[in-house]
């Protein structure tokens, strides 16, 4: 009996043929299946976009850890992760935070053309309304990055501070009820249990309270972020000091 030697596709390099010992087929480069996947993602870039945030994490489809480096996007592009619909505004996530993200069903059969909502295939984005669709007739389109790449991952949760309150310091005198004004956003300092200000870029805020004094610049108050068509994100006043203690910084 003649025993034939196993053929090597790369005889000059003496590399073995990649195969699966059970099926004998070539090893797949991507894990198959139609089940949704879940992975931990770490925010790796400043949150400056409306619909998604750039993260780094272990892409379990490949499987491979995908890092993010703004100076080397070719080798470390990061993973774009869609935000929850109710919080599609800049400034929700902070660099270094870690959250669970899931991958909607990836199947070969697309939604019928008459189905406007692509449930289970892509995080999606409202065609005309920022955040949630305005009604059932609004189309939900495929979500892309600014570079035109399809976004697959979807963030499961949001930071606690983004859905509650943040302290702002007025960068100008209060203009009165219902008029947007500039303010500095405070950063919570766990060492002092208080708010710190760097007085860099300002955010837009608005106060809808009746019968309250309108204080001068430097006044602090508690605000909650809201989606705005004009400013993308605007902070609505919940409570505010009646007078200014001085400069914000």
pLDDT by residue (tens digit) across 38-86?
899 999 999 989 999 999 999 887 888 999 999 999 999 999 999 999 8
pLDDT digits (tens, 9 = 90+) for 195-219: 999 888 899 999 999 888 899 999 9
Class of the CATH-defined domain 164-240 = mainly beta
Residues in a beta bridge with 43: 55
Q: Where in the chain is the domain with CATH 2.40.50?
A: 164-240
pLDDT confidence of residue 169: 96
């Amino acid at each position: 009996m003649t025993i034939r030697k196993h053929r090597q596709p790369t005889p000059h390099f003496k590399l073995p043929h990649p195969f699966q010992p059970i099926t004998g087929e070539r090893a797949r480069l991507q894990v198959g299946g139609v089940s949704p996947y879940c992975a931990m993602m770490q925010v790796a870039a400043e949150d400056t976009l409306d619909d998604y945030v750039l993260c780094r994490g272990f892409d379990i489809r490949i499987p491979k850890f995908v890092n993010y480096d703004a100076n080397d996007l070719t080798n470390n592009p990061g993973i774009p992760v869609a935000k929850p619909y109710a919080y599609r505004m800049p400034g929700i996530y902070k660099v270094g935070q870690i959250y669970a993200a899931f991958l909607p069903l990836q199947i070969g059969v697309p939604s019928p053309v008459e189905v406007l909502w692509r449930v289970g295939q892509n995080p999606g984005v409202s065609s005309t309304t920022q955040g949630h669709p305005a009604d059932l007739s609004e189309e939900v389109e495929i979500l892309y990055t600014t570079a035109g790449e399809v976004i697959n991952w979807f963030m499961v949760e949001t930071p606690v501070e983004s859905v509650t309150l943040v302290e702002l310091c007025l960068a100008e005198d209060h203009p009165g009820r219902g008029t947007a004004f500039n303010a500095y956003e405070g950063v919570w300092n766990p060492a002092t249990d208080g708010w710190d200000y760097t007085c860099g870029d300002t955010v837009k805020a608005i106060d809808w309270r009746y019968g309250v004094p309108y204080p001068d610049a430097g006044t602090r108050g508690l605000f909650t972020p809201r989606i705005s068509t004009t400013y993308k994100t605007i902070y609505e006043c919940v409570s505010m000091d009646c007078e200014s203690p001085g400069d914000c910084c």
